[in-house]
Amino acid sequence: MEILGNTLGEIAGEKAGIFKHRIPAFTVPQPDEAMHVLKEKASQLNVPLQVTAPLDAKLLNGLRLGLEGEHQYINAGLAVALSSTWLNINGNLDETHLKQTFIKGLATANLQGRAQIVCDQHINKKISNELDFFLDGAHSPESMQACARWFSLAIKDNNQTFFNQKPDNSKFSNEVAKTHQGEAQKSAQILLFNCMSVRDPQLLLPHLVKTCADHGVYFKKALFVPGLSVYHKIGSHALSPTDSNIDLSWQFTLQRVWENIMQGNKAGKNIGGASEELTGMEMSVSNCEHSAVFSSLPLVINWLRDRVQQNQSTRFQVLVTGSIHLVGDVLKLIKK
């Protein structure tokens, strides 16, 4: 918004800057305010603007999109329309081959930090349970709802079959497809969250909580932590502040918002605060009934790993969201 504008119309006008004279352009269904601007800009440049429909799942011939989430069918429809037009313009008219290529591409596409599941491989292999990270860089109310829906459905699959889905093609997460045998484990859902201070947690967190609750999912604890890297402007060097000089005031603000939501949530009795699995809070700088603030991300990861070691009957499922920077920092740590 700082760059693109404060209204949907202003933002759409900036986005429409990619339009080129008489060159085909594509979009998906938009709010009226945005669509009006896109059509006006297209008319000025004689741009044939096409609004694409979501991809019909039947076209995948029984396969699933590589990217999770219902909204990805909208993105997939746009991708197919754009790719088909470009290929046809360049003389690739074999529609049968194109269809097979598109199906393969849509089924194998992956994007780090969006609906990504990674199993922590630092845990002692003799321990039967797991520490699973569910990573999504959602940072708007709409994307937070989509993230919550994905997480809620994903952990149910995770608990039933320990992921009946394709791993993300990295060596690191190939373990995610294995199936646990024997007695069913307990599971504990934990939120690991941070967002930029220009975001409004009063909008983001309630959407997350409500959507998860609608699916019967409640967090045992929310953990708030600053990222490893601080970016002041594009092109600047990443800073790695030490625990002693980092400002945690924003994390305390996030914690207060979360505690207020929990206190006002009638379903709060279903949301575990203090529990036997979540001991060792002396590692945090601020521990409340439903949340804790940690001074650094490595401390959080170590705390989670300690909980796994000490609770072999519980599977810990950690949703990491609110910031693509946080997601990237977590990936850096757990991939080592």
Element (H, E) at 42: helix 32-44
Confidence category of residue 115, pLDDT binned at 50, 70, 90: confident
Structure tokens that stand for 292 in this block:
């804790």
Least confident span in 119-133, 149-163, 245-259, 280-294: 119-133
Q: How far is CA 321 from CA 190, 195, 226, 241, 314, in A?
A: 11, 8, 12, 21, 22
User: Cα–chain-centroid distance for residue 171?
Assistant: 20
Question: Is the predicted pLDDT of residue 320 greater than 90, yes or no?
Answer: yes
- pLDDT of 268 reads 46
Q: How far is CA 67 from CA 45, 60, 72, 105, 109, in A?
A: 34, 13, 7, 11, 6
pTM more than 0.85:
no
Are 277 and 220 in contact by the 8 Å Cβ rule? The answer is yes
Does the CA dihedral 239-241-245-251 come out positive or negative?
A: positive
- Rounded distance, CA 281 to CA 286, Å? 8
- pLDDT of 70 reads 81
- pLDDT of 158 reads 67
Q: Which of 55, 48, 42 is nearest to 15 (CA)?
A: 42
DSSP conformational letter for 315: E
- pLDDT of 68 reads 81
Could you read off the pLDDT of 197-242 as tens digits, one per residue?
989 999 999 999 999 999 999 999 999 999 876 544 444 444 444 4
- Rounded distance, CA 309 to CA 281, Å? 15
Could you read off the pLDDT of 67-103 as tens digits, one per residue?
887 888 999 999 999 988 888 888 876 777 777 888 8
- pLDDT of 189 reads 95
Q: Which of 130, 265, 224, 107 is nearest to 186 (CA)?
A: 130
Question: Is the predicted pLDDT of residue 175 greater than 50, yes or no?
Answer: no
Residue 90's region, left for phi above 0, alpha for psi from -120 to 50, else beta, is alpha
